Structure 1
Amino acid sequence: MLLPGTTRLLQRLLLLSTIATTHATVILSSSGHDGGNDEGALVAFKAKITGHSGVLASWNQSSSYCSWEGITCSKKHRLRVVALDLSSQGLAGSISPAIGNLTFLRSLNLSSNGLHGAIPPSIGALGRLQRLDLSQNMLTGDIPSNISRCTSLPVMYINSNRGVQGSIPAAIGSMPSLTSLGLANNSLTGTIPSSLGNLSRLTVLYLRYNYLEGSIPAGLGDNPHLWFFQVAINNLSGLLPPSLYNLSSLYELSIADNKLHGSLPPDLGKGFPNIEKIGMGANRFTGALPLSLTNLTKLQVLHIEQNSFTGVVPSELGRLQDLQVLVLEGNEFEANDEQEWGFIASLNNCTGLQFLDIGSNRFAGELPGSLSNLSTNLLWLRAYSNNISGAIPSGIGNLPNLEVLSFSENLLAGLIPESIGKLTQLNQLLLDANRFSGRLPPSVGNLTGLSILVARENSLEGLIPPTIGNLSKLTLLDLSNNKFTGLIPKEIMGLSSISRALDTSYNMLEGPLPLEIGEIPDAIGNCRVLETLLLDGNSFQGSIPATFNNMAGLTQLNLTNNKLNGSIPASLANITNLQELYLAHNNLSGPIPGQLGNSASLLRLDVSFNNLQGDVPEVGVFRNLTGLSIVGNNELCGGIPQLHLPRCPSSTARKNKKTMPKSLKIAIPTIGALLFLLLFVWAGFLYKKFKPAPEATIPQQFTEMELPIISYKDILKATDGFPETNVLGKGRYGTVFKGTLENQDTDVAIKVFNLQISGSYKSFQVECEAIRRVKHRCLVKIITCCSSIDQQGQDFRALIFEFMANGSLDRWIHSNSEGKFGQGALRLSQRLDIAVDIVDALDYLHNGCQPSVIHCDLKPSNILLNQDMRACVGDFGIARVLEEATSKCPINSNSTIAIRGSIGYIAPDVHRETDDMFKDGISLHYYAQAALPNKVMEIADSNIWLHSEANNNNDKTHITRTRECLSAVIQLGVLCSKQLPTERLSMSNAAVQMHAIRDKYISS
């Protein structure tokens, strides 16, 4: 029981307590939590930024940080930063760890800048974060695992930071709010964590363009909300989990460019009711396309190229009425009659179809007339490298929007239809390597948007249509290896747009060489920029026009095998960029112009089999025995001693020179001929008497090398019967075994060709021909070969090479999950030695052997390391000797029409970019150039730094020299990879510079 007045006292105390509490709350909200820490975090962030577009100019204390550009503060929590958005502002520098102090931050967007360094682990402290976007920067290092502490985060994008490496943190699978995860276009390794299957809200998963391996976790197929699934361009293997085929929500399935295998399930069409895009090209899938595929009625894009799919293409494809892109290229699909070609008629229902590629399959028979009834929206139609016969449908002109039309490498015959002239939007017309006859229709002159016209290797005849002169955008014209007659129309020779190549070689053209080609300026009034001019193998007469010297961009001029006369114009030496000049097998006379020796660019000169006279110069190209051919000119004299030409007589001696009696002129050749005949008969007798047995025969290329004879039985014994345990490697055309030849103590590598594979015979002959011509310390040494019969009476071919104890460079720069070898095992000094060996090998192949050899498949797996870790280039299975290449695949051509070798290769032995980050004007060349000179450590392999003694010892001098060394190597790569061949460093100069870099670094 309360005393009187107690109740009133308690009421007053309660009121005072309430007032005091309210006042304290006001004080706290206005002082202790006023956002002061946020301002400090922003100032620390700015301190780490070394460059920007001016966006941070407002970041000063003259105004509240809530008004700074890119900053958004909370309306509810006064002065607390909730958004930091500085995307696409040209930021450079690193991300300050102080970013973790912005604890109210809901959105952090620093995408599309030039930020480098590591991702701060302190981001894990941002518990309120709703969006994190660090894409398209130059960040490096691992993804911090404690980023998983952002448990409320729905959107996380760290795409396109090629320096980001390591594995995907498994802890990301414990972020329950995550709906969009983008880790594409980085350098991530390891496997896809199975924990990602726990992200039940995930709708978008971007993992493409990394180095991920292993199988795709089955749990990812259990997510009922997954919409985008992109894991293309990795090293994933195994079967697709069956659960993945049942994702009813899936819009895009992108698994291309991996090592996945298996066949598609028969009920494929039941599991993807909403699918619009399927990309599964460049894998190892087999089997037929299931008929149920045609139930995917929302499908717009189907990419299944570069697999091993077989059978007939379902004729009901027309049910996919929304289809826009269909790419079947590089499989084993068949069609031999009208019924099997039925899918083309069915596609007439796909009114939105824009891209159709059926190239490089096994399609045969005649093209159906229904091809002409495809969608008028069609942009690309490619059917190259098949066995298609018959004629091009005359209605081909019904596809008015075509930009690319390729029927290359088929058996098509008959006339090229006049209606082709209706395709006025064409950019590329490729009709090469068929059996077309008759005239090239004049209607091609209507294709005013055409930039590439290739009709080589057919039987086209008559005059070259002068209407081609209407094609003002034409950059490449190749009409070689046909039966064209008459003159080259002056309208064509006057086209200023032709810059890449003009090739009319090996026809029946005649008359004088056209003057117009050197007289017509380009579109902006400069000298002609044509790079390659091939007029060889015709019947051109008269002299070489002096106007050719106006073609400043010319790098290769081939006039071989014509009927040209007169002298060689000295003005040819004025062609600034000329590297190759071929004038052999003509009727040229007079002296060789000494000015050609003063040309700084000229690397190859062939004037053989003419009537040239007088002194051979001794400077420039005339000192390069591998790049000079002067044989068949019996009145030449002088030159460097290695040419073994007679000394040039003095003027007095020439006056007193007596003429050989006519009777002696007749007698000497007659006696020589008789002696030759006797020797020939005697050689035939010896051959019959001592002819070797078939078991011992070897190719002519190797008899010239005097290699020892070896039989199939010797190979069988050397390898212990070809067991799998002795396999060193496998390639397209055969298998390499480790073995030991009888009576020899050293191991050898034995390349056994699989003659059941189409092209293996040719590969064997090509490699024999190439190896016969080359011998260098940086090329794998050939010991012998075997051309014999196996135990089943089948042909047997093998090459025996020196054994390379340390395997391929590929094994040393691509580590596996067990850490065996791997790039971290290579020190910088070893990398420099290997680089020197490779450039030495290429310099020899291109410039040091005669004729030159283009490897055509240079890649890490074809570079082998010996016991001392020195590199040797091997595998010449698709090499080209330059004599063959000059008319078909010019060494300086930019054309990609005749690309040979593996991905990453473009002639002649130069890198080709395949990374998805290199697009929209960004190239590997640009990427490397942009890093020079201060950011080379950010683009170089981090293992160089991690395993450097300079790093471990914190030796600042050594650190500086290491950075300088890497900068020099990258600068050399930039010089060798310029867009125009005329701007690139020559291989000889590249080798000299690489030696200088290596010697300077190692000696220091």
Structure 2
Amino acid sequence: MVLSHTPYHRVLALRSSAYRATPYKLVGTIPANLGSTLPNITELVIGGNQFEGQIPNSLANASNLQTLDIRSNLFSGHIPSLGLLSELKMLDLGTNMLQAGDWTFLSSLTNCPQLKSLSLDFNGFEGKIPISIGNLSKSLEELHLMANQLTGDIPSEIGKLTGLTVITLGMNGLTGHIPDTLQNLQNLSVLSLSKNKLSGEIPQSIGKLEQLTELHLRENELTGRIPTSLAGCKNLVQLNLSSNSFHGSIPQELFSISTLSISLDLSNNQLTGDIPMEIGKLINLNSLSISNNQLSGEIPSNLGNCLLLQSLHLEANFLNGHIPSSLINLRGIVEMDLSQNNLSGEIPEFFGSFSSLKILNLSFNNLIGPVPKGGVFDNSSAVCIQGNNKLCASSPMLQLPLCVESPSKRKKTPYIFAILVPVTTIVIITMACLITILLKKRYKARQPINQSLKQFKSFSYHDLFKATYGFSSSNIIGSGRFGLVYRGYIESDVSIVAIKVFRLDQFGAPNNFIAECEAFRNIRHRNLIRVISLCSTFDPAGNEFKALILEHMANGNLESWLHPKRNKQIPKEPLSLASRLSIAMDIAVALDYLHNQCSPPLVHCDLKPSNVLLDDEMVAHVSDFGLAKFLYNDSSMASSTSYSMAGPRGSIGYIAPEYAMGCKISFEGDIYSYGIILLEMITGMYPTDEMFTDGMNLHKMVLSAIPHKITEILEPSLTKDYLGEDRDHELVELTMCTVMQLAELGLRCTVTLPKDRPKIKDVYTEIISIQSMFSALNN
């Protein structure tokens, strides 16, 4: 574009954001006269580039500007006065090197009556938050000031901003008390004050914030008792009070917040007394940590009612008694730490049957008897049991005395044999095992190549090190439980790839690598992520190294497009209904291939938007086969354990309900996940959204809205694009028909009983029909 020939007065928007991983980032400075040159501009979105210098004062002349987003650049200096921008709704200056100066710019924003979102996080602002913040627009909904160098008190005037739904002030040096005026913010959903130096008690008035879903107060200097009034925050899904100086008992009222589902963290305080039996009411809780306190008494048996627990930390307390048998109900537990207590009795054998359990720490208690066999106990690096002097084991790998006889049948043995024989046996077997492990180590590291993907060219560690510029953090484009995904440039092929590096110190990562290798060996389809090569070797330090080299998807994953507000590093343009239809069809095609054309058939087991990747033409590719399982038609070809479930398999919100009850994996489980994705695509709501409480879920919400209230639950961009006043009546009606068809298909896929869900071939056929009708009507 030649700027000298551009009709500037007609430019209404300038977007050049580069949030997603791409080598094409713009550099330079913004012209000083930009605001005067483009007086009618309404949007300036240039986030995720490498612009530097100061924000030009001339932007104040662009009086129609509604959105100013320069996040994630290199801007420095002071922020100019923007008070003339009376139409401004969103101002995002986060992740730069800006300074506040005398905070004059903040005072000027009081003249922006429509301002809804103000983001100044991750900059270099110093000093106190000015009391003039209370004069900002009452329509302000989001205020982000975290990760600066702010000091002093939180001004009580912040309580005047009654429209606020999100406040993030964490990672600063704020002092003083939490202002009582926060009780005025009745719309507040997220309050994050973590990693400051706040002192005093939590005000009782916090309990009046009934809409609060997240409260983060960790790593402060707060004291006193945990207020019982927190029970008034009846929509909380996440509560973190860790690393403070709270004392006294845990209020039982806290466990009446049935919506707590993501996490409850009270660790690293000075709490005393018993763990209340009411803890069993938190049946939706995923993570619980009350470690490093001074709690006493027994582990309550009602803890077994928390069926969705994946992480349990009770370590470093004074708990006593036996490990309750009711914990057998925690079939989906992934990590459990009960160490550094006074627990007694034997280790429950059912821990060995937990297929999802990857970390078990029972060290430094008073446990006795034999260590169970199977499951997590077969991996000595996954179990910590030292400091229990009366335990014995059937294997020397656990570094315990061998259980020669059961206690009930133990006979008197000469002292020399009772000591010498077990010790000698342990030494000999341990030496043999160590030698065997050392000899087999390098063979095992390369085994997946020989058995699963030997047809692919193998890359060396040096190749990938060079491709990712030394595995630079700037090249990271994704992360998960088992590793990181880097963007890499392969010089020999002159191509950009995605390199998934497995963190082999994470329990389950080696098996995850093998599972993906096995899946990729058997599948190949245009709507499945394509494996280019692999690397299974050792790094220069002699550590085992495993990676997969995959196609690079230029447009990220589907989740980042469906929820742009929660994923600010991606483009903010919403997906059109046509794009959503096309993506839905691509996923259906991929599932049809896995279920009906693979030999043997494959069940994905973890279908969700973050595992649906989009290429440069927005074609969807299903990825992440670490949990996938082959289903054999001939039962003799595989044991039943190869496809049975001993706990939830997949991701919360997308996992089929029958999996949580121990049912076998099935095609119907993938259909359920697909249906949830369909409903999420038309509503824009996560299936784990905080609004889904008291038995309500995404399926029930959509069901209750059909047919007459469907527009009330649709994703806003759909109603804006297709139901506006400037659209003709016929097109509006036909568009609504398309949305209704998608909603009804999603509902049929997500019914509770697996047998009532449609087959993927029927789903695929219906999606094609819906898309064909929509395309014909929209042309």
Would the TM-score normalized by the shorter structure come out above 0.5?
yes
Secondary structure in structure 2 of the residue aligned to 1:370: helix
The reply to whether residue 218 of structure 1 matches residue 7 of structure 2 is no
- 1:810 matched to 2:488? The reply is yes
Structure 2 portions without partners, runs of 5+: 19-23, 417-462, 475-481, 511-531, 541-554, 560-565, 606-620, 629-648, 661-779
Other-structure match for 1:820: 494
**Alpha-carbon distance in structure 2 between the residues aligned to 1:376 and 1:422:** 12
1:888-913, Cα deviation, whole Å (9 max, x unpaired): xxxxxxxxxxxxxx99799xxxxx97
Q: Deviations over 1:720-771 (max 9, x none)?
A: xxxxxx998698xxx75xxxxxxxxxxxxxx9x9xxxxx99xxxxxxxxxxx
- Which residue is equivalent to 1:384? 146
Aligned: 1:480 with 2:242: yes
Cα distance change on mapping 1:905 and 1:461 into 2, 3 Å: farther
Q: Secondary structure at the match of 1:414?
A: coil
SS state at 1:810 partner: strand
Tell me by how many angstroms 1:223 deviates: 4.4
**Structure 1 contact 570–596 (Cα < 8 Å) conserved:** no
1:313 corresponds to: 79
Question: Offset of 1:259 from its aligned partner?
Answer: 0.8
1:388-787 alignment, distance < 5 Å = 388-518=150-280, 520=281, 528-648=283-403, 649-651=405-407, 656=412
1:218 positional shift: 2.8
Q: Tell me which amino acid in the other structure corresponds to 1:845.
A: Q
Higher relative contact order (CA 8 A, sep 6+): 2
Structure 1 residue aligned with 2:112: 350
**In structure 1, what is the equivalent of residue 65 of structure 2?**
299
Distance between the aligned counterparts of 1:779 and 1:325, measured in 2? Answer: 35
Query: What letter corresponds to residue 488 of structure 2 in structure 1?
Result: D
Change in Cα spacing, 1:929 to 1:844, as seen in structure 2 (3 Å) is: farther
Could you report, residue by residue, the CA deviation over 1:780-814 in whole angstroms, capped at 9, with x for unpaired residues?
A: 9xxxxxxxxxxxxxxxxxxxxxxxxxx987225xx
2:589 counterpart residue number: 934
TM-superposed deviation, 1:589:
0.8
Residue 870 (str. 1) matches residue 562 (str. 2): no
Q: Is the 8 A contact 2:359 2:376 kept in 1?
A: yes
- Say whether the 8 Å CA contact 2:200–2:221 is kept in structure 1: yes
1:878-931 Cα shifts (integer Å, max 9, x gaps):
xxxxxxxxxxxxxxxxxxxxxxxx99799xxxxx97765996899999987754
State percent identity of aligned pairs: 33
2 CA distance for matches of 1:873 and 1:921?
44
The correspondence for 1:327, drawn from 70, 80, 92, is: 92
- Compute the displacement of 1:298 (Å): 1.6
Residue by residue, what CA displacement relative to the aligned partner does 1:376-428 show, whole Å, maximum 9, x if unpaired?
A: 11000000110111110011110001000000100111111111111110010
Which residue of structure 2 aligns with residue 846 of structure 1?
A: 507
How far apart are the structure 1 equivalents of 2:369 and 2:290?
Answer: 27
Offset of residue 318 of structure 1: 1.0
Question: 1:974, CA displacement in angstroms?
Answer: 9.5
The residue identity in structure 1 corresponding to 2:72 is Q
Q: Deviations over 1:959-999 (max 9, x none)?
A: 9669989999948649679541894999xxxxxxxxxxxxx
Residues 979, 617 of structure 1: CA spacing in aligned structure 2 closer, same or farther, 3 A cutoff?
closer
* CA shift digits 1:301-356 (9 cap, x unpaired): 11111100000011x211212211111001100125xx2x1111111111111110
Counterpart amino acid of residue 307 in structure 1: N
* CA apart distance, 1:267: 1.6
Q: Which residue of 2 aligns with 1:252?
A: 13
Distance 1:346 1:509 in 2: 46
Q: Residues 928 and 970 of structure 1 are in contact (CA less than 8 Å); yes or no, is this contact kept in structure 2?
A: no
Is residue 980 from structure 1 mapped to residue 652 from structure 2 by the alignment?
yes
Structure-to-structure mapping, 1:956-975, within 5 angstroms:
970=622, 973=625
| Aligned ranges 1:12-31 → 2 under 5 Å | none
The two structures, once aligned, show a CA RMSD in angstroms of 4.5
Counterparts of 1:544 and 1:608, CA distance in 2: 16
Q: Is the 8 A contact 1:627 1:847 kept in 2?
A: no
CA shift in 2, pair 1:568/1:301, >3 Å? same
Amino acid in the other structure paired with 1:388: L
CA contact (8 A) 1:294 1:319 kept: yes
- CA shift in 2, pair 1:366/1:809, >3 Å: closer
Which amino acid in structure 2 is aligned with residue 980 of structure 1? I
Deviations 1:245-282 (A, max 9, x none): xx111111111115111111122222112111111111
CA distance in 2, matches of 1:560, 1:645: 22
Q: Does 1:271 align with 2:37?
A: yes
CA distance 1:808–1:323, shift in 2 (3 Å): closer
SS of 1:613's equivalent in the other structure is strand
**SS state at 2:488 partner:** helix
Preserved CA contact (<8 Å) 2:178 2:202? yes
SS of structure 2 residue aligned to 1:626? helix
Give, as a single letter, the amino acid of the residue that structure 2 aligns with 1:322. Answer: E
Residues 901-912 of structure 1: pairs in structure 2 closer than 5 A: none
**Structure 2 matches for 1:95-174, cutoff 5 A?**
none
Picking from 238, 258, 262, the partner of 2:28 is 262
Deviation at 1:617, TM superposition (A): 0.6
* Distance in structure 2 (CA, Å) of the matches to 1:727 and 1:547: 50
| Contact 1:932/1:971 (<8 A) preserved | no
Q: Deviations over 1:110-157 (max 9, x none)?
A: xxxxxxxxxxxxxxxxxxxxxxxxxxxxxxxxxxxxxxxxxxxxxxxx
CA contact (8 A) 1:427 1:451 kept: yes
Q: Distance in 1 between matches of 2:112 and 2:483?
A: 54
* Structure number, greater radius of gyration: 1
CA-CA distance at 1:599 after TM superposition? 2.5
